[in-house]
Amino acid sequence: MDIGWLEDFLALIERGGFSRAAESRAMSQPSFSRRIKALEDWVGAPLIDRRTHRIRLTAAGESFQLAAEETLRRLQLGREAARAADRTDHETLRFASTHVLSLTFFPRWLRRLEEEQPLGATIALTADHMVACERRMVEGKAHFLLCHHHEAAPTRFGGDFRSLSLGRDWLLPVAAPALLREGDPRKAPQLAFTAESGMGRILASAWERGGRKPSAPPAFSSHLASVLAAMARDGRGVAWTALSLVREDLEQGRLARAGPEAEDVEMEIRLWRPRARQSPAAEALWSRILASQLAD
Q: What is the mean pLDDT of the chain?
A: 90
Evaluate whether 113 touches 73 at the Cβ level (below 8 Å). Answer: no
**What pLDDT is stored for residue 120 in this prediction?**
80
**What pLDDT is stored for residue 100 in this prediction?**
95
Q: From its phi and psi, is residue 61 left (phi > 0), alpha (psi between -120 and 50) or beta? A: alpha
Evaluate whether 2 touches 37 at the Cβ level (below 8 Å). Answer: no
Domain check: are 116 and 262 in the same one? no
**What pLDDT is stored for residue 88 in this prediction?**
44
Domain end position, chosen among 71, 96, 112: 71
**What pLDDT is stored for residue 39 in this prediction?**
92
How far apart, in whole angstroms, are the C-alpha atoms of residue 119 and residue 288? 10
Domain check: are 140 and 194 in the same one? no
How many structural domains comprise the chain?
3
- Strand runs (DSSP E) across the chain, as ranges? 48-49, 56-57, 92-98, 122-128, 144-149, 161-175, 190-193, 218-222, 238-242, 256-257, 265-274
Domain end position, chosen among 51, 71, 91: 71
Domain CATH code at residue 89: 3.40.190.10
**What pLDDT is stored for residue 16 in this prediction?**
87
How far apart, in whole angstroms, are the C-alpha atoms of residue 259 and residue 179? 13
Residues 90-121: tens digit of each pLDDT: 578 999 999 999 999 999 999 999 988 888 88
| Residue span of the structural domain in which 202 resides | 169-267
What residue ranges of the chain have pLDDT lower than 50?
A: 88-89
Domain check: are 260 and 182 in the same one? yes
Domain check: are 62 and 133 in the same one? no
Domain check: are 83 and 66 in the same one? no
Domain end position, chosen among 71, 93, 124: 71
Evaluate whether 87 touches 15 at the Cβ level (below 8 Å). Answer: no
Domain check: are 154 and 197 in the same one? no
**What pLDDT is stored for residue 89 in this prediction?**
40
Q: From its phi and psi, is residue 235 left (phi > 0), alpha (psi between -120 and 50) or beta? A: left
Domain check: are 112 and 235 in the same one? no
Domain CATH code at residue 11: 1.10.10.10
- Strand runs (DSSP E) across 85-237, as ranges? 92-98, 122-128, 144-149, 161-175, 190-193, 218-222
Domain check: are 60 and 129 in the same one? no
Please tell me the pTM assigned to this model. Answer: 0.72
Residues 242-280: tens digit of each pLDDT: 999 999 999 999 999 999 999 999 999 999 999 998 888
Domain check: are 263 and 284 in the same one? no
Domain check: are 176 and 258 in the same one? yes
| 3-class DSSP state of 259 | coil
Domain check: are 159 and 178 in the same one? no
Domain check: are 246 and 273 in the same one? no
- Determine phi and psi for 42, rounding to 5 degrees: -65, -40
**What pLDDT is stored for residue 87 in this prediction?**
60
